[in-house]
């Protein structure tokens, strides 16, 4: 039997557990009230596969059964999981999502076998200790960015990561779909975006200074039906998918497909191909009416595919050299009376902020979009540290905290020489566990603008799903607890207790087939000897 004291992320309160409890077997029935249908389907599918438990429909009063219901006296996403001897199991949620998160906790209580796809001990009865778990999230936005532009992840891998997110009670997938190195979403009005922009002829292996290349073509994209499937699969797990379409930088894949989108009066954009290396690319979108209309077409199709409140437009790392040299860009600056090239970028972002707002959506972008002013309804992903988030919150903008120095999962997990392709600061499991999303110094009113937090998995040096697993896990478990649980100040957090609970959680990850970084360091097949990285020494700044 597993107890509530081994749950990750840590619940708010656990009464018990006691030695007695409830046994689940072939005779256990499931009663589901209106509003809990997605959790009902999920429980039958998951426990039916893992434990061979049919969980047939039964009456609400069935002794020893499982009951699901919505209780609006609880907060949104909160739940109460009651395991009562001689009575049964009940999950009450403040809304359908709360019921689902309670079901995730129930799965953990059933042991690591509950995370497999077929029974390994057929015919067993599965016991849960008598206990009551009261729980609910600290933050509304608990996100993971998955970068499928640099290295494509096939649809099945994305669905797998949605399941892994649900296991950890994360509820926002930031889907990074376009960049210089690839365009990953089908746009029917502009088919060359995927015909040309979705693949590159070769790929830099390691950091951009590495002499190594993978000479195999790399690519892939999601059809619109693939996207509909991903979004629906996420919604069944109470996860919102927020798409990112990068403008006006990080756009060479689009320019390679449609050269007229680039600064044709400065460079021969017809000679550009999808970029095969990493870094900040000088080829950015031209600030023309044609470019605006083209991306309005793109966003119209994106809005039809993604019902999310927020649409991410990137807005980061946009070099201004081509605009400085472009008569077309300079004429637009003069025509609009803008404050130079920075003002031109603010105008570009502002156009799409207005365009999205007129369609009932909200723009979100990286913290560079603060430069030059930002419309009231726009939100900011603070990535360059805490400063962007502080500035956004103090200006009245909602913010998602994802500072590079703390929760970029491409950064190395240890300072040892065996760490594969070491990038950035050392961010150990403990470092992530002690990350605090709310910047110090904010007033309560300003802190209320912090929607939540997000860990970012950038895939420049993650060439396959095994590398993604290694970089993301186990740190995503620590991040999930930071995002969900109401933890004390970083220096007072019980990391030793978290490590103890991780002993049980590693067994769950093993059952799920997650290729995480072991506590003792990488396995031989997880290393990348001789592949150049970009380690940064010392402690990351807290600013």
Residues assigned a catalytic role: 179, 250, 317
Cα 88 to Cα 28: distance, rounded to the nearest angstrom: 9
- To 10 degrees, what angle do helices 155-167 and 224-236 make? 10
- Backbone angles phi and psi of 467, in degrees to 5: -70, -35
C-alpha span between 472 and 475 (Å, rounded): 6
Q: Which residues pair with 135 in a beta bridge?
A: 79
Q: What angle do CA 16, 142, 166 make, to 5 degrees?
A: 65
The residue length of the chain stands at 543
**38: Cα separation from own chain's centroid:** 21
Q: How far apart are CA 506 and CA 65, in angstroms?
A: 29
Distance CA 116, CA 436 (A): 33
Distance CA 12, CA 289 (A): 52
Considering only CA atoms, which of 179, 172, 164 is closest in space to residue 145?
Answer: 172
- What are the residues facing 285 on neighbouring strands? 262
What residues does 199 pair with on adjacent strands? Answer: 219
């Amino acid at each position: 039997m597993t107890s509530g004291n081994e749950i990750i992320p840590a619940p708010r309160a656990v009464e018990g557990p006691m030695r007695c409890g409830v046994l689940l077997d072939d005779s256990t029935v499931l009663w589901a009230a209106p509003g809990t249908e997605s959790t009902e389907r999920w429980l039958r599918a998951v426990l039916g596969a893992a434990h061979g438990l049919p969980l047939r429909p039964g009456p609400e009063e069935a002794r020893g059964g499982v009951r699901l219901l919505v209780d609006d006296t609880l907060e949104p996403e909160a739940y109460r999981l009651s395991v009562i001897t001689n009575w049964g199991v009940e999950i009450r949620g403040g809304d359908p999502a709360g019921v689902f998160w309670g079901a995730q906790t129930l799965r953990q209580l059933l042991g690591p076998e509950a995370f497999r796809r077929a029974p390994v001990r057929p015919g067993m009865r599965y016991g849960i200790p008598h206990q009551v778990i009261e729980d609910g999230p600290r933050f509304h936005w608990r996100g993971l960015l998955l970068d499928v532009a640099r290295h494509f992840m096939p649809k099945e891998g994305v669905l797998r990561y949605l399941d892994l997110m649900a296991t950890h009670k994360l509820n926002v997938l930031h889907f990074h779909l376009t960049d210089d190195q690839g365009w990953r979403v089908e746009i029917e009005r502009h088919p060359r975006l995927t015909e040309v922009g979705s693949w590159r002829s070769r790929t830099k292996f390691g950091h951009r200074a590495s002499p190594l290349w993978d000479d195999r073509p790399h690519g892939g994209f999601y059809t619109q039906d693939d996207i509909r499937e991903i979004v629906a699969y996420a919604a069944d797990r109470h996860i919102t998918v927020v798409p990112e379409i990068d403008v006006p930088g990080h756009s060479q894949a689009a320019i390679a497909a449609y050269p007229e989108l680039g600064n044709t009066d400065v460079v021969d954009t017809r000679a550009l191909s999808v970029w095969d290396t990493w870094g900040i690319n000088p080829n950015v979108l031209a600030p023309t009416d044609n470019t605006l209309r083209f991306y309005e077409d793109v966003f119209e199709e994106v809005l039809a595919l993604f019902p999310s409140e927020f649409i991410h437009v990137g807005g980061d790392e946009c070099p201004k050299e081509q605009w400085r040299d472009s008569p077309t860009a300079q004429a637009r600056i003069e025509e609009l009376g803008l404050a130079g090239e920075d003002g031109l970028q603010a105008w570009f972002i502002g156009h799409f902020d207005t365009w999205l707002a007129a369609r009932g959506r909200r723009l979100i972008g990286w913290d560079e979009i603060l430069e030059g002013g930002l419309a009231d309804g726009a939100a900011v992903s603070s990535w360059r540290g805490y400063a962007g988030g502080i500035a956004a919150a103090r200006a009245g903008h909602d913010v998602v905290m994802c500072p590079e120095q703390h929760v970029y999962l491409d950064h190395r997990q240890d300072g040892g020489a065996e760490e594969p392709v070491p990038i950035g600061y050392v961010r150990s499991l403990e470092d992530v566990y002690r990350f605090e999303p709310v910047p110090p110094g904010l007033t309560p009113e300003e802190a209320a603008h912090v929607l939540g937090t997000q860990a970012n998995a950038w895939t420049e040096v993650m060439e396959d799903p095994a590398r993604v697993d290694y970089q993301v896990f186990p740190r995503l478990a620590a991040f999930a607890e930071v995002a969900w649980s109401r933890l004390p100040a970083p220096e007072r957090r019980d990391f030793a207790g978290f490590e103890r609970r991780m002993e049980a959680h590693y067994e769950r990850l093993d059952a799920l087939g997650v290729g995480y970084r072991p506590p003792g360091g990488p396995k031989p097949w997880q290393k990348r000897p001789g592949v150049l990285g970009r380690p940064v020494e010392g402690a990351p700044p807290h600013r």
